[in-house]
Structure 1
Amino acid sequence: MSFAQFNGTLPATDAWSGYLAQAQDHIQNNQRLALLLLINSPIIAILLNAIRQLIIPRKASDPPEVFHWLPIVGSAISYGNDPLGFFFENQKKYGDVFTFILLGRRVTVALGPKGNNFVLGGKSTVFNAEDAYTHLTTPVFGKDVVYDVPNDVFMEQKKFVKVGLSTDNFRSYIGMIEEEVEEFIKRDSNFSVYQMNDINEWGSFDVVKALSEITILTASRTLQGKEVREALDKSFAELYNDLDGGFTPINFMFPNLPLESYRRRDRAQKKMSDFYVDIIKKRRESHDTADHDMIAALLEQKYRSGRQLNDREIAHIMIALLMAGQHTSSATGSWAVLHLAANPEVADALFKEQVRHFMGPDGKMRSPTYEDIRTLPILDSVIRETLRMHPPIHSILRHVREDVAVPGTLSSPSRDGTYVIPKGNYVLACPAVSQADPSIWREAEDWQPARWNDQSGFAAQALKMYVDENGEKIDYGFGAVSKGTESPYQPFGAGKHRCIGEQFAYLQLGTILSTLIRVMEFRIEKVPEHNYHTMIVMPKHPRKVSYRRRRLD
């Protein structure tokens, strides 16, 4: 017997080889199982997510949750493609209050006029706008303004801006806006037919491109100041576009992606801020008080503490005004021109209104005044109906800082208890739903400016509730305003975050539309659908409008 045989090595080696083979098979099986799990993990996650929603009961106080297959993603795709359709569909299932998942965020929706009042009339310490928006607005507007400061400071800044939105300033802006529109259509290559003075030839132009350029030209000539208007060259346009590239839905949902567009945004913000600071420093040094623009107004303002606005704060407020006003006004102007092109009888009535009020004995049109623009019923109804159907912003979010009970009037009629929205959720109001609700508005899907001319009709009553000129006013820190949160018509928001540029927007839009309709006829076969993939709701392509010089005979 050899030593190996005595020691039992040879039989042990055979056993060890067997163990190794079994272990290798076990490892291979585990690897196959792991690979299968990896391949099927999305399916497993989807199934577990569905089972959780179907089997695990929700708390009685929780609003109903919209069923969704994809975890984390939730209802983001359905909501992003067609928010109003998404809201109306789920309103039928769950009532006016329900929760949906938006890329990991729990968003509780409160629909209808009562829902708008609940969210937009809520306390800022509970329903907070800064928490909801600062990650989007601060990189674009800059530090120390708007949602980058506490609410009480923002309200003071709104008061400063309101000083610059004075009636005297508005009176001086009418002629400037008219001149800018006339000069634009005289030199822009898309209006070559107009420039040839041929009343029989038709041309075409991209309505969004044209109205975007007109809006920024008129805003810079008036609110922004002469230095900004003089700087509107190619380099400024590129700077603006880079900054605007940071004001998109992807920036809102994912604020810190390592993308070149984000880096361009940050570089553009710094350059734009420095550009305004240079203007402000020169204004301070020259002591020039003759200007009627926003910079001149802001240079004179002080906080309640007695501190003046510094140069960087003024610069960032000016950027905020430029970006926010540009998008909303160009969107509304574009939709208005599209509807006038699709409804030539309304366009003709609008033109005849201009003739009645402004045509002189010499056959020439005089310029409207500020008071004129405010008192033209057809022009007013065209703007209001356009804003009803196409409010620039459809969803308004707030971050919930503490548990909040939903009023019983908002809960489902069949419920005995009250919903509670937990701290950490978001709440969402959608005035666009109220403005398009067929149970509220007659023929809600039709663009009917005439509905605003019936003083006893529903539209007029909704407007009265929104404006409430003779009713109770509330001062949130920037002057007494109508709360307006209970109206089914809220084109400029409501409550303390109601847009203070509302009157300027009407002035700007009214003057632009008046000038265009005097000199051109428009035609389009069909008004485009909404593009909800942008921060401000724009028309989808194709959006070219045919035009020709207006016949004055």
Structure 2
Amino acid sequence: MSSLFEQLKEHIPQAILDLPTPALVLLGVVGIPALIIALNVFRQVCLPRDKTLPPVVFHYIPWFGSAAYYGEDPYKFFFECREKYGDLFSFILLGRKITVALGPKGNNLSLGGKVSQVSAEEAYTHLTTPVFGKGVVYDCPNDMLMQQKKFIKTGLTTESLQSYPPLIDSECEDFFNHELKISASNPTAKVDILHTMSELIILTASRTLQGKEVRESLNGKFAKYYEDLDGGFTPLNFMFPNLPLPSYKRRDKAQKAMSDFYMSIIQDRKKGETDHENDMIASLQGCVYKNGVPLSDRDISHIMIALLMAGQHTSSATSSWTLLHLADRPDIYEQLYQEQKAKFGNEDGIFRPMTYEAVKELPLMDAVIRETLRMHAPIHSIYRKVLSDIPVPPSLSAPSEGSSYIIPKGHFICAAPGVSQMDPLIWQDAKTWNPNRWLEEKGVGQAAVEQYTKSEQVDYGFGSVSKGTESPYQPFGAGRHRCVGEQFAYTQLSTIFAYIVRHFTLSLDADKVPEPNYRVSRNGPKGLGRFSSRIV
């Protein structure tokens, strides 16, 4: 070792060696990182690259890569990289090699990929397992997950969905009367929309899917458990799932407590000590895997946590964005009110109750939700771990030499359906919130829905669904991981919006609709996002 040091000294100028120790330390602190950055730039600019691999987004700092550029605004990152590199490119994200495949064909490459080539489990289990629990969702083989989705879908029967609107309407009435405290003497209230809708979504979901025992516990320890568990769904947790941080310890403690809470409900029901409704817990009890193994009580507990967390994030963000856009467009809001009057009103100005069947008979309501989902996809990036080399079809993107790219084993492949949904090459005035685009006969919106709902039908193990992976509009995912709660989501959101439209008018508490906040896991409004309400 000393001999090596002596050799190195021969190549270091004596003037540097004669510097004081503090100066040498400073030189090392500044010089070594600068050298690392210089070598990384030299490697990207001057050295030949493997032309069978997708182009890599230029970055200065190795390992860190494009984390800051991507994390601040993923869509700006995607669109700008598409301009430079095409629909297929790779970037470095904190040591991970991410290959992005954009556009409908790019979505299909990832979301429609074979289980032998891409794995959602390998991409997400380190994030979801500490939150949902073991043995469910991404902490089990894909075949088991497909069966679990079938069990959940079995619980979302038409009869169950028909029973939900009255329960949701009742929760809305109680919530707005007690939380906003709006009355004839106090007709206006300002609220934080995301916070308000997050509360209302969890109340309505617990009253319907989760069961009355869960609903009755939301004002106690359960609410605190949910808050701590929700803290485990952040970009930090996704990249570094096992840091020794207080929030991680709270997450783990809350997961066990919530799991035990559901277990106690199940045990009490088995003893006949509670009077319960035909909710999701009741539906899951008695479900059996194809190999004859029954769904355990602990599995049911973890599935219930997964349902609560996943639905809460997406629906709270979607409902918040919808109300903000409606507040910004009073003309559309008034049309929604007139639609409610025409469908449910009578001569005395009294509205009949909302029904599940009516959800499909409110074209403007449907268009409003679809347009919000188009502009504000609940998840901006959908990852899969590449298990074996993926040949890229030349139609997606190919080198000028004519050979196809290869996405190598070990990379992560990323789909971004929100890019297709905001692509100005597909949608006219793509950045403008315009529900009427969905009401145009033979318009892009109608064609996209047709492709999403009526394309090739595939049974992945939870019932036949439209594959939908090449549609430019994928509000609930596509392929084998398509969300089975789509009908519930439309029922929940439509019933909530109907109640608000019937009872309040809206106005923004700002000059415009706020920008998205991509620093959190749900793409909610950036900042407070307040609005004003008043009794009609």
Paired residue for 1:295, among 277, 281, 289? 281
- Once the two structures are overlaid, the 10-residue window that deviates more, 372-381 or 38-47, is 38-47
Residue 361 of structure 1: CA displacement? 3.5
Correspondence list, 1:77-476, <5 A: 77-188=68-179, 191-192=180-181, 194-196=182-184, 201-286=187-272, 291-412=277-398, 414-468=400-454, 471-476=455-460
Residue 71 of structure 1: CA displacement? 1.1
For residues 246-280 of structure 1, the C-alpha deviation after alignment (integer angstroms, 9 at most, x for no partner) is 11100000111110000000000010000000001
Q: CA RMSD in A?
A: 1.7
Tell me, in whole angstroms, the C-alpha distance in 2 between the residues paired with 1:435 and 1:211. Answer: 24
Residue 454 of structure 1: CA displacement? 1.0
Do the aligned partners of 2:63 and 2:94 also contact (CA within 8 Å) in 1?
yes
Tell me, in whole angstroms, the C-alpha distance in 2 between the residues paired with 1:447 and 1:197. Answer: 35
Tell me, in whole angstroms, the C-alpha distance in 2 between the residues paired with 1:26 and 1:446. Answer: 60
Distance 1:413-1:381 versus aligned 2 partners, 3 A rule: farther
Q: How many residues align?
A: 520
What one-letter code is carried by the residue in structure 2 that aligns with 1:510? S
Tell me, in whole angstroms, the C-alpha distance in 1 between the residues paired with 2:221 and 2:188. Answer: 33
User: Unaligned regions of 5+ residues in structure 2, if any?
Assistant: 1-13
Tell me, in whole angstroms, the C-alpha distance in 1 between the residues paired with 2:371 and 2:419. Answer: 15
Give 3-state SS (helix, strand or coil) of 1:398's partner: strand
What one-letter code is carried by the residue in structure 2 that aligns with 1:317? I
Q: Does 1:55 align with 2:43?
A: no
Give 3-state SS (helix, strand or coil) of 2:89's partner: strand
Tell me, in whole angstroms, the C-alpha distance in 1 between the residues paired with 2:525 and 2:26. Answer: 46
For residues 110-154 of structure 1, the C-alpha deviation after alignment (integer angstroms, 9 at most, x for no partner) is 000010011100012211101100000000000000000010011
Indicate the residue corresponding to 1:15 in structure 2: none
What one-letter code is carried by the residue in structure 2 that aligns with 1:476? Y
Do the aligned partners of 2:89 and 2:100 also contact (CA within 8 Å) in 1?
yes
What one-letter code is carried by the residue in structure 2 that aligns with 1:247? F
Distance 1:388-1:415 versus aligned 2 partners, 3 A rule: farther
Correspondence list, 1:40-79, <5 A: 40-79=31-70
Do the aligned partners of 2:217 and 2:223 also contact (CA within 8 Å) in 1?
no
Give 3-state SS (helix, strand or coil) of 1:532's partner: coil
Indicate the residue corresponding to 1:12 in structure 2: none
Residue 302 of structure 1: CA displacement? 0.6
What one-letter code is carried by the residue in structure 2 that aligns with 1:50? V
Tell me, in whole angstroms, the C-alpha distance in 2 between the residues paired with 1:411 and 1:27. Answer: 52
Residue 27 of structure 1: CA displacement? 7.3
Distance 1:285-1:74 versus aligned 2 partners, 3 A rule: same
Indicate the residue corresponding to 1:496 in structure 2: 480
What one-letter code is carried by the residue in structure 2 that aligns with 1:271? A
Tell me, in whole angstroms, the C-alpha distance in 2 between the residues paired with 1:362 and 1:89. Answer: 55
Residue 288 of structure 1: CA displacement? 7.5
Distance 1:262-1:372 versus aligned 2 partners, 3 A rule: same
Do the aligned partners of 1:95 and 1:412 also contact (CA within 8 Å) in 2?
no
Indicate the residue corresponding to 1:513 in structure 2: 497
Residue 42 of structure 1: CA displacement? 1.4
Distance 1:437-1:25 versus aligned 2 partners, 3 A rule: closer
Do the aligned partners of 2:456 and 2:468 also contact (CA within 8 Å) in 1?
no
What one-letter code is carried by the residue in structure 2 that aligns with 1:475? D
Tell me, in whole angstroms, the C-alpha distance in 1 between the residues paired with 2:431 and 2:418. Answer: 12
Do the aligned partners of 1:436 and 1:444 also contact (CA within 8 Å) in 2?
yes
Residue 26 of structure 1: CA displacement? 10
For residues 469-512 of structure 1, the C-alpha deviation after alignment (integer angstroms, 9 at most, x for no partner) is xx531000011000000100001110000111111001000000
Indicate the residue corresponding to 2:10 in structure 1: none
Give 3-state SS (helix, strand or coil) of 2:138's partner: helix
What one-letter code is carried by the residue in structure 2 that aligns with 1:175? P
Give 3-state SS (helix, strand or coil) of 1:363's partner: coil
Do the aligned partners of 1:96 and 1:412 also contact (CA within 8 Å) in 2?
no
Percent identity, please: 54
TM-score by length of 1: 0.91
Runs of 4+ deviating beyond 3 Å: 24-35, 287-290, 412-415
Do the aligned partners of 2:378 and 2:522 also contact (CA within 8 Å) in 1?
yes
Give 3-state SS (helix, strand or coil) of 1:255's partner: coil
Do the aligned partners of 1:295 and 1:318 also contact (CA within 8 Å) in 2?
yes
